[in-house]
Amino acid sequence: ELKVEQNPLFLSMQEGKNYTIYCNYSTTSDRLYWYRQDPGKSLESLFVLLSNGAVKQEGRLMASLDTKARLSTLHITAAVHDLSATYFCAVDMGAGNQFYFGTGTSLTVIP
Amino acid sequence: NAGVTQTPKFQVLKTGQSMTLQCAQDMNHNSMYWYRQDPGMGLRLIYYSASEGTTDKGEVPNGYNVSRLNKREFSLRLESAAPSQTSVYFCASSTGTGARTPFFGQGTRLTVV
């Protein structure tokens, strides 16, 4: 059974600080996705990581993938309030096109 | 471009009632999915359709049925609703090839009383 674990589940950080969210998964996959969800809203795609060593950056967010360690990270640089949201990682199982999600990390950026 | 459209957005059902959640995508995607989202549990896959004409069970299929009506539409049916099915339901679609990024609808908030 595939498990996708994120930590931390809750993160409260001050504006201007850096932090990393971790996503571990239990089976082989070379594709990983990061999403953002605002309260009461749908999921918005942030990054698609398609191979080992892939790194993507957009603004203050940077995502990376290590398929050997089955680990992806989402690094936040100099956090701002607008980044407050819940962040999900999702793993592509490949065969059958199944996507499995982590439990999410609820991020609150405080002034 | 509408993307993935779900109806209804909100629904209240009584225990034992049935209903169908509708989902349509206009991106010519091959694969479609139904997820439920519950607090602290992330999104769990209920059913998916890798391509038109096929459907398969995901992690939590019990109590649900699906129909892939055509390439655009994928519906989720609750035959006899239970309070445990109170949740937010999301439909998603992906190309099934290439990056395969799933795109999500706006969700249906379902309450079973």
Note the pLDDT tens digit of each residue in A46-103.
Answer: 999 988 899 999 999 999 999 999 999 999 999 999 999 999 999 987 666 789 999 9
**Chain B stretch 43-102, residues whose beta carbon is closer than 8 A to a beta carbon of chain A:** 43-45, 48, 50, 56, 58-59, 90, 92, 94, 96, 99-102
- Whole-number CA gyration radius for chain B: 13
Cβ contact (<8 Å) for A98 and B99? no
Q: Which residue of A has its CA nearest to B43?
A: A101
Are the CB atoms for B4 and B108 separated by under 8 Å?
no
> DSSP class of residue B79?
S
- % residues pLDDT > 90 (chain A): 81
Q: Per-residue pLDDT averaged across A26-45, rounded?
A: 93
- Looking at this protein, which amino acid is placed at residue B6? Q
Residue pair A104/A39 in contact (Cβ under 8 Å)? The answer is no
Residue A10 token pair: 């809750």
Q: Residue A110: beta bridge partners?
A: A14
Question: Average pLDDT for consecutive 10-residue bins of chain B (113 residues)?
Answer: 92 98 96 94 93 92 96 97 98 86 96 97
- What pLDDT, on a 0 to 100 scale, did the predictor assign at position A51? 87
